[in-house]
């Protein structure tokens, strides 16, 4: 690099590590990584990969990262790859490991920030796929405010039984409960285990991973079909190649993440989410990402969107279709095209890879009206998520309405109270829960868990025992996207914070009304207050320093379960 470069006006953020005579030591180190003389004037960009061997949604991302890096070089930029951690929620489910899943979102965001800021990179292509990795990276993008494009690893194919029935991971969880209830055989469960996850990729239904990868499209940080194109396909590789040129364009235009992640972008992303009946985890993550972007977005706004946007695409576990069907039917652009007809989208806002959000769905159309229904024939007139309030959840609670049987949209029954996941699952498997009950699982909130464990095992056990149409479940924990049924999570304030859920006793009547958006403990206010005053302090037997620190800093689920400053 010549001395003339010292007086050259800074063109890139990365000039802080590569321009001027005082940066000779830095260039010496960069040369050792393979940077060549002709690279100094190019943008230096991060490839934020989440390759890990133990997660099927990520096991292929080492090779996929190479595709992205080659595309970045072809676009005239210099790639620097690094990895994040990744927790597989399915493998962490049902034991103490699940306490680390939601906290991993914060670690991922912090680690991405650390790498980008320490090395002053000009932008990044993020390669997430599953569970908390996509939201963690989105939080980092919002926090850093550098040009960013997301390219997820792609969805898994649906599994198939020998007779051709489409199945997925939730089928296996429910199969375990069916076996314990004597409703299926060990041989059938073995078949489900061997058939449900046939390839790499994010689990094939509208679970959290695919919900977030679809929302990334609507937010405007991912290219069309990012949410539905299958893993390991030429189409997925083509999206990666185009993403590199989209990033180059964003850098040249100065289109940073916060210019994309506007209030209107969050509105449109949740319009898509409720139209697809996405995972309730999207609520936690959407609130957290909006906070990082300094966008004023709350539970009430999400519920208002769900009230005016119809449910158009019913994907497993709520329906029989999987992401490959959604892709075949036109993908996210086709769903957004229908919502455009409704007039709820903000078409002029900026996105990566196109002149505007509207341009990304201009030519989209539904190719299979059984998979993606038109506005004239929705599953329901309102969307697939709802926020319920009441004396049991003064700050709110969340339910995936698309997974509820009509008979359970209004329900009242006696409480069966359990202080934690393990007590509840033992009682369900023992046959102690009967039709009409309202199962209450508490002290599983962000701080109380700590870690806000997903309750897929209890919800699958209820469904597997044939009680999904007669038993409700309420928790200050959260649910997997694979959960279905009258399952209400994120109850806030949580029990550990002295929320009313801590006052519930066995036999108390609880009334749920999804249409009215209410959840009520049928106990008078004075008695609830007296019970809460009488509660003895709970000792937290948590050996992990990380989880103890998380429990001290984490905020309410109603605010996205983010860690306080």
Annotated binding site: 89, 131-132, 454
Hey, is 150 helix, strand or coil?
strand
What is the C-alpha separation between 441 and 145, in angstroms, rounded?
39
Q: What angle is formed at CA 363 by the lines to CA 360 and CA 369, rounded to 5 degrees?
A: 110
- Catalytic, out of 318, 480, 556, 558: 480
**Are 205 and 323 within 8 A, CB to CB?**
yes
DSSP line for 504-532: --TT-EEEEETTTTEEEESS-HHHHHHHH
Active site residue 480: yes
Write the CA distances from 216 to 70, 102, 129, 177, 257, integer angstroms.
23, 19, 11, 34, 12
Give the separation between CA 65 and CA 63, rounded to whole angstroms. Answer: 5
- Bridging pattern class, strands 472-475 and 159-160: unpaired
Instruction: Write down how long the chain is.
Output: 565
Query: What's the first-to-final CA gap in the chain, in angstroms?
Result: 41
Query: What SS3 class is residue 561?
Result: coil
**Within 10 Å of residue 254's Cβ, how many Cβ atoms?**
8
Q: Are 508 and 480 in contact (CB under 8 A)?
A: no
Q: Which residues pair with 202 in a beta bridge?
A: 155
Q: Which helix (H) or strand (E) holds 244?
A: helix 234-253
CA distance 351 to 219: 8
- Taking the CA atoms of 334, 335, 339 and 345 in sequence, report the sign of the dihedral they define: negative
Please report, for the chain, how many H helices and E strands are present, in that order. 20, 14
DSSP letter, residue 345: S
Contact predicate 211/281, CB 8 Å? yes
Contact assessment for residue 279 and residue 273, using Cβ atoms and an 8 Å cutoff:
no
218 touches 264 (CB < 8 A): no
DSSP string of 195-241, one letter each residue: HS--SSSB-SSSSHHHHHHHHHHHHTSB-TTTTTSBTTSHHHHHHHH
Annotated binding site for Mg(2+): 89, 131-132, 454
Max CA pair span of the chain: 80
List active site positions: 480
């Amino acid at each position: 690099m010549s001395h003339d470069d010292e007086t050259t006006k800074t063109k890139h953020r990365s000039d802080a590590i590569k321009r001027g005579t005082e940066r000779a030591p830095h260039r010496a180190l960069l040369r050792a990584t393979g940077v060549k003389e002709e690279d100094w004037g190019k943008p230096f960009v991060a490839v934020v990969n989440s390759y890990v061997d133990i997660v099927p949604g990520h096991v292929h991302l080492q090779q996929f990262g190479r595709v992205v890096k080659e595309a970045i070089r072809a676009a005239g930029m210099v790639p620097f790859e690094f990895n994040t951690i990744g927790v597989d929620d399915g493998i962490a489910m049902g034991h103490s490991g699940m306490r680390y899943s939601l906290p991993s979102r914060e670690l991922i965001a912090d680690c991405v920030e650390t790498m980008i800021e320490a090395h002053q990179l000009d932008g990044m292509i993020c390669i997430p796929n599953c569970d908390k990795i996509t939201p963690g990276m989105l939080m980092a993008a919002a926090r850093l405010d550098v040009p960013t494009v997301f390219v997820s690893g792609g969805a898994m194919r649906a599994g198939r039984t020998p007779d051709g029935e489409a199945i997925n991971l939730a089928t296996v969880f429910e199969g375990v409960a069916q076996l314990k209830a004597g409703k299926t055989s060990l041989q059938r469960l073995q078949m489900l285990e061997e058939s449900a996850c046939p390839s790499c990729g994010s689990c094939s239904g509208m679970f959290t991973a695919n919900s977030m990868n679809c929302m990334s499209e609507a937010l405007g940080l991912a290219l069309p079909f990012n949410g539905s194109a299958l893993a390991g396909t030429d189409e997925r590789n083509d999206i990666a190649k185009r993403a590199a040129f989209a990033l180059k364009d964003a850098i040249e235009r100065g289109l940073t993440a916060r210019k994309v992640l506007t209030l209107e972008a969050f509105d449109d992303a949740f319009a898509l989410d409720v139209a697809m009946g996405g995972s309730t985890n999207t609520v936690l993550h959407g609130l957290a990402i909006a906070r990082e972007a300094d966008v004023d977005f709350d539970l009430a706004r999400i519920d208002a969107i769900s009230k005016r946007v119809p449910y158009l695409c019913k994907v497993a576990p709520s329906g029989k279709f999987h992401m490959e069907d959604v892709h075949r039917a036109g993908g996210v652009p086709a769903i957004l095209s229908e919502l455009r007809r409704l007039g709820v989208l903000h078409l002029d806002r900026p996105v990566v890879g196109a002149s505007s959000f509207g341009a990304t769905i201009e030519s989209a159309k539904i190719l299979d009206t059984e998979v993606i229904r038109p506005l004239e024939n929705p599953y329901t007139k309102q969307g697939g998520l709802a926020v319920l309030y009441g004396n049991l959840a003064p700050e709110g609670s969340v339910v995936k309405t698309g997974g509820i049987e009509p008979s359970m949209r209004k329900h009242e029954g006696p409480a069966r109270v359990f202080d934690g996941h393990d007590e509840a699952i033992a009682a369900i498997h023992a046959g102690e829960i009967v039709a009409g009950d309202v199962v209450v699982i508490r002290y599983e909130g962000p701080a109380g868990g700590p870690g806000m464990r997903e309750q897929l095992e209890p919800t699958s056990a209820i469904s597997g025992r044939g009680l999904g149409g007669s038993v409700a479940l309420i928790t200050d924990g959260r649910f997997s996207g694979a959960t279905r049924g009258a399952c209400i999570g994120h109850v806030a304030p949580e029990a550990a914070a002295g929320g009313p859920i801590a006052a519930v006793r066995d036999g108390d009547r609880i009334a749920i009304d999804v249409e009215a958006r209410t959840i009520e403990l049928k106990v008078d206010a004075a008695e609830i207050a007296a019970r809460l005053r009488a509660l003895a302090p709970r000792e937290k037997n948590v050996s992990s320093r990380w989880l103890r620190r998380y429990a001290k800093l984490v905020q309410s689920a109603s605010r996205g379960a983010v860690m306080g400053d």
